[in-house]
Amino acid sequence: MSKISERLAKLGQTETTGFGFGVRALTRKIPVILTVVTVHKPKDIKDVCADVFIMGDGSKGLPQPQTLRDDDIWGVSVSDGIDCDIDALAGLGADFLVIETESIPGSALCGDGTGKGFVVDWNLPKKRAKAIDNGPFDFLILDGNSLNLPLNVGGVLELHEQIAYYSLHIFLRLTQLPTDQDLELLRDIGISALLYDVSDAKTKEFAKLRESIDRLEPRKEKKSAPAVLPASGPSPGETDLTEHEEYDWD
C-alpha cells in the first residue's frame, strides 16, 4: 500500500509510531485536511512545510534523500506523451503518480504499490464520473479556482454537485486561502486535501492555514433523531367502551 493511501485513511486520527524495545513511542495527529504543494525544483521542498509534495510536470530533477524530511510524502505529475517507468520512479522514492490527462499511456495505471491520482474536469457526464470512481485511483484532483472565497451557499452546493458521483478522496486545487469557516465547510463537504503551487505556499498566510487546519476537529457524523410513533393503545373512547362492556358482563 502506498504512503499516500495510508495517510488518507487516517485523516483526523492520532497515529503512534516507534514501537519496540528501547524505542520511544511518538504520537502524531493526522490533519483532517492535508496540505499538498506542487513544486518545480527539488530544493523547493526545503522551503515549504506541507503534508504532501507533487513534482510538477517538467520539473528539473527529483528529490534527493538529503532534501526530504523523514515523514515527507511525494509523487510525480505526468502528462501527455510521457511513458512512465513506474518501477524506476518508485525506486527513486516516488510514492504516487498524478495523471493529468486521459491521453497518458495506460502503463501509468500499473503498479499496485504506487498510489494514483487523477485530475478531473468539472461537469463530467455521469457515466464517465462513475468510470473514474471505479478506476484504480486513490484520490482525484478538482480545480477549485473558479470558486469565490469565502464560500457562499451557491459555492457550497456547486462543490457538492461536482463531487456527488465520487467516493474517492478529493484534492481541491486553489490559489486563494480559505477562512476558518471555509475550512469547516470544505471538511463537511468531504474535501480531503488542499493543493497549492509552491509560489502560493511560500507565505506567512499559508503557514497560518496549516495552523487553522491543525485546530480543525473531524467531521461529526449526522445522527437522525428516532421517529416518534403514536401510542398503540386504545383511544379514550375505546377504553370507556371496554370498561362499560366489562361492567355489564358482571
Phi-psi group of 241: left, alpha or beta (phi > 0 → left; psi -120 to 50 → alpha; rest → beta): alpha
pLDDT at res. 242: 46
CA gyration radius for the chain?
26
Q: How far apart are CA 37 and CA 58, in angstroms?
A: 15
Q: Where are the domains of the chain?
A: 33-220
Per-residue model confidence as pLDDT tens digits over 2-23: 999 999 999 999 887 655 555 5
The per-residue pLDDT for range 167-181, each reduced to its tens digit, is 999 999 999 999 999
Write out the three cell numbers for 120: 478531473
The CATH architecture assigned to 33-220 reads Alpha-Beta Barrel (3.20)
| Residue 244 pLDDT class (50, 70, 90 cuts) | very low
Task: Give the phi and the psi of residue 60 in degrees, each rounded to 5.
Answer: -90, 100
pTM of the full predicted structure?
0.82
The whole-number pLDDT of residue 100 equals 92
Would the pLDDT of 93 be above 90? no
Q: Give the model's pLDDT for residue 230.
A: 56
